[in-house]
């Protein structure tokens, strides 16, 4: 998975810019990212590009009182960094309006309810057009999300501003044009240049953001990109680059399409985001899996392919031959037990092991 390619990627070399994905892996203890060391001490402002659930998740971690985080299974290195963090303001930037925001109600409710955080939304951003009304009419979810944001905007107007208070700003109708480099610290990001947008209706009724040519800067030294994912193709695997997914029919990989008839590759199946694009919640994946497994079962019954492959036994032999380190389920159980035991000592559900060395050692222990 890589972040969607935008021209902003060209400036990724500035320090202080992270993809939300790396950041989430960092606080969740992914062994490849435990050494990320994001700088949370040289700025009071973090800017998150995107308003989906991942963006909300990152905002939540940056703003929630660390005393509350201390009893979760957040990675220890992240908790320490957050305890020393100077970040007090978080901006969530969306290129469209509150009616189009990608977040969902439950996650929004949680972030709006964080203790000691002031929500800031411009009332002018909350005005709706007839096209917006239409979108809300067709989707109860959108309507309820809009109402939640409206209420928060109205409450924001009346609350007093306290310099020590943490703030969460929802910024609508702004799309990032480029990151800005700091003059004082070469190689570090100091802000983002945003272009104001307006919405344009397309034929399908969907509204898209269109730049107006008016720009403004937003300062901040921690930038997080949470604007979606894109699958990467594998050599030899059919791939639809536009959709960012493997072409398939009910999970059966399509090798080619001739005159609207899809020819599927016998014995090759796909599931999850690679099948549907990066969309959906956990329960969506549940049914996606059911569909693909259904196809596999059907094909086995129909004798669509004769597999002479060696199966899991063959896989184990191959791994042994190549001397690849592996962890089986009982190894995982040992890791699980160790993490829970360590967590117990600190009033957390678990204390995650965050290096490959520690994980392999725990898996191999007696």
Partner 1 sequence: MLGHRISRFGSAIVKQLAREGYLSATYGTRNLQRSYGHYLPSLPMVQRQTRTSQEAFFLNNHRFYTASATSSDETEKITIIFVDKDGEEIPVKVPIGMSVLEAAHENDIDLEGACEASLACSTCHVIVMDTEYYNKLEEPTDEENDMLDLAFGLTETSRLGCQVIASPELDGVRLAIPSATRNFAVDGFVPKPH
Q: Is there a contact between 187 and 15 (Cβ–Cβ < 8 Å)? A: yes
Instruction: Report, in Å, the least distance between residue 283 CB and partner 1.
Output: 5
Q: Is there a contact between 250 and 294 (Cβ–Cβ < 8 Å)? A: yes
Q: Is there a contact between 2 and 22 (Cβ–Cβ < 8 Å)? A: no
- Residue 359's CB is within 10 A of a number of other CB atoms, namely 20
The residue among 137 and 326 lying less far from partner 1, judged by its C-beta, is 137
Q: Would strands 89-93 and 166-171 be described as parallel, antiparallel, or unpaired?
A: parallel
The residue among 127 and 284 lying less far from partner 1, judged by its C-beta, is 284
Q: CA-to-CA distance for 60 and 295, rounded, in angstroms?
A: 40
The residue among 41 and 140 lying less far from partner 1, judged by its C-beta, is 140
Q: CA-to-CA distance for 17 and 10, rounded, in angstroms?
A: 12
Q: CA-to-CA distance for 62 and 38, rounded, in angstroms?
A: 12
Q: What one-character-per-residue DSSP string does 94-147 give?
A: -SS-TTT----HHHHHHHHT-TTEEEEE-GGGG---HHHHHHHHH-HHHHHHHH
The residue among 279 and 337 lying less far from partner 1, judged by its C-beta, is 279
The residue among 32 and 290 lying less far from partner 1, judged by its C-beta, is 290
Instruction: Report, in Å, the least distance between residue 109 CB and partner 1.
Output: 7
Instruction: Report, in Å, the least distance between residue 105 CB and partner 1.
Output: 4
Q: Is there a contact between 149 and 107 (Cβ–Cβ < 8 Å)? A: no
The residue among 6 and 104 lying less far from partner 1, judged by its C-beta, is 104
Q: Would strands 174-181 and 189-201 be described as parallel, antiparallel, or unpaired?
A: antiparallel
Instruction: Report, in Å, the least distance between residue 101 CB and partner 1.
Output: 12
Q: CA-to-CA distance for 19 and 7, rounded, in angstroms?
A: 14
Instruction: Report, in Å, the least distance between residue 229 CB and partner 1.
Output: 12
Cα–Cα nearest to 92, from 35, 132, 50: 50
The residue among 284 and 317 lying less far from partner 1, judged by its C-beta, is 284
The residue among 217 and 290 lying less far from partner 1, judged by its C-beta, is 290
Tracing tokens 């399409």 back to the chain, one arrives at 257
Instruction: Report, in Å, the least distance between residue 276 CB and partner 1.
Output: 9
Six-digit token string for 281: 């919640």
Instruction: Report, in Å, the least distance between residue 138 CB and partner 1.
Output: 7
Q: Which residues contact partner 1 (rule: CB under 8 A)?
A: 102, 104-106, 109, 138-141, 144, 206, 279-284, 286-287, 290-291, 293
Instruction: Report, in Å, the least distance between residue 53 CB and partner 1.
Output: 10
């Amino acid at each position: 998975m890589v972040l969607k390619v935008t021209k902003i990627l060209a400036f990724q070399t500035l320090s202080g810019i992270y993809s939300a994905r790396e950041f989430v892996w960092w606080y969740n203890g992914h062994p490849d990212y435990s050494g990320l060391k994001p700088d949370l001490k040289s700025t009071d402002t973090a800017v998150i590009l995107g308003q989906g659930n991942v963006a909300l998740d990152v905002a939540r971690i940056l703003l929630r009182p660390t005393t509350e985080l201390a009893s979760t299974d957040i990675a220890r290195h992240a908790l320490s960094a957050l305890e020393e963090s100077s970040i007090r303001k978080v901006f969530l930037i969306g290129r469209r309006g509150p009616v189009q925001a990608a977040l969902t109600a439950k996650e929004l409710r949680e972030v709006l309810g964080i203790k000691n955080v002031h929500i800031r939304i411009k009332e002018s951003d909350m005005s709706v057009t007839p096209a917006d009304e239409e979108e809300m009419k067709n989707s109860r979810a959108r309507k309820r999300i809009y109402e939640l944001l409206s209420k928060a905007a109205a409450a924001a107007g009346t609350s007093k501003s306290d310099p020590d208070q943490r703030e969460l700003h929802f910024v609508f109708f702004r799309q990032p044009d480029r990151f800005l480099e700091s003059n004082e610290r070469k190689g570090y990001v100091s802000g983002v240049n945003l272009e104001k947008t307006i919405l344009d209706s397309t034929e399908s009724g969907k509204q898209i953001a269109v730049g107006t040519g008016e720009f403004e800067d937003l300062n901040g030294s921690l930038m997080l990109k949470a604007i979606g994912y894109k699958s990467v193709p594998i050599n030899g695997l059919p791939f639809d680059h536009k959709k960012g997914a493997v072409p398939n029919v009910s999970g059966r990989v399509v090798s080619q399409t001739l005159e609207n008839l899809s020819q599927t590759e016998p014995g090759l199946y796909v599931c999850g985001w690679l099948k549907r694009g990066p969309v959906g919640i956990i329960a969506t994946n549940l049914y996606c899996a059911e569909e693909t497994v259904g196809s596999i079962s059907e094909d086995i019954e129909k004798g669509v392919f004769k597999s002479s492959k060696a199966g899991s036994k063959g896989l184990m032999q191959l791994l042994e031959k190549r001397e690849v380190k592996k962890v089986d389920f009982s190894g995982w159980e040992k890791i699980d037990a160790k993490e829970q035991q360590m967590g117990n000592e600190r009033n957390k559900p678990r204390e995650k092991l965050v290096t490959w060395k520690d994980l392999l050692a725990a898996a191999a222990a007696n």
